[in-house]
Amino acid sequence: MKTSLRKPILLVIVAVVALAMVRLGVWQLGRADEKQAILNKQIEMAEQASVNLTGLEDFARFKQVYVDGSYSTSRNLFVDNQVLDSKVGYLVFTPMRIANSEEFVLVNRGWVPVGNSRAVLPEVITQENKHRVEGRLNLPPAQPPLWDDAASANTESVWQYLPIDEVAAELNLTLLPMVLELAPDFAGEADPALVRRWRTIDNKWVATHHGYAFQWFAMALVFFLACVFLILRSATKHSS
């Protein structure tokens, strides 16, 4: 390839790589904005008084709620691959029939370790009589990255994530579109072995994405300038 053609082609390749880095930086800024929006929503909802879930129409994420009902004790769901304090376990969800209603809400009752064998699910104590639970609304556990849509989301009571429509069909129940996460300090949970920690997004998460964005922008600039310098220097040597 002639030297006169090589330099423009190399410059185009360098520009494409640098623009890809810039795009990754812009993506990180977008992620920071998403996390900031979630953080703002958490703060906003935490400042509001808890409301009755019965008859609620505004299913806003992180809304503080309470509800009277009774658990469907034979239908505990275990969401797999949940890590807490470097230990693998399950999130335990139990459908609760809302009092004076045909609707159910999935209640995230907390985390439990896997135990000695995955062949045996942990025993969970479930309160059978009608009672009140308190917590916040949240999205159900999402589909894992790179999940094969052709694969089943569950094997009997063990689920990899919770697609509400599929869960409703599997259990033959009418489910609300969001789950209720029991509050960490809720004293009415029947099984003291279940650990409850609300996953929160704080300013550190937002700052981390800003830091990644800065790194991508800086690498793009350094890479572009270094490559241009080397290409021009090489062209100068060939011309002399």
User: Would you state the structure tokens that stand for residue 115, as one six-digit string?
Assistant: 């135990």
User: Would you state the structure tokens that stand for residue 6, as one six-digit string?
Assistant: 């090589």
Which pLDDT value is given to residue 1?
Answer: 46
Report CA torsion sign: 184, 126, 132, 51. Answer: positive
Whether the CB-CB separation of 197 and 108 falls below 8 Å is answered with no
Beta bridge partners of 79: 91, 159
Measured distance CA(118)–CA(133) in Å, rounded: 29
Whether the CB-CB separation of 28 and 216 falls below 8 Å is answered with yes
Whether the CB-CB separation of 76 and 94 falls below 8 Å is answered with yes
Cα–Cα distances in Å, from 125 out to 76, 155, 190, 210, 221? 10, 21, 6, 44, 58
Residue 59's nearest CA partner among 130, 131, 132, 140 is 140
3-state secondary structure 22-40: HHHHHHHHHHHHHHHHHHH
Measured distance CA(109)–CA(193) in Å, rounded: 10
User: Around 161, how many Cα atoms within 13 Å sit in the side-chain half-sphere?
Assistant: 15
Measured distance CA(43)–CA(46) in Å, rounded: 5
Measured distance CA(9)–CA(3) in Å, rounded: 10
Which pLDDT value is given to residue 77?
Answer: 96
Whether the CB-CB separation of 20 and 38 falls below 8 Å is answered with no
Which pLDDT value is given to residue 239?
Answer: 60
Query: What is the end-to-end Cα distance of the chain in Å, rounded?
Result: 18
Which pLDDT value is given to residue 209?
Answer: 85
**DSSP codes joined into one string, 177-206:** SSEEEEPTT-TT-S-TT-B-------HHHH
pLDDT tens per residue, the chain (240 residues)?
Answer: 455 556 677 778 888 888 999 999 999 988 888 878 877 777 777 777 889 999 888 888 999 999 999 999 889 999 999 999 999 999 999 999 999 999 999 999 999 999 888 888 999 999 989 999 999 999 999 998 888 888 888 898 999 999 999 999 999 999 999 999 999 999 999 999 999 998 776 677 788 888 888 999 999 899 888 888 887 777 676 665
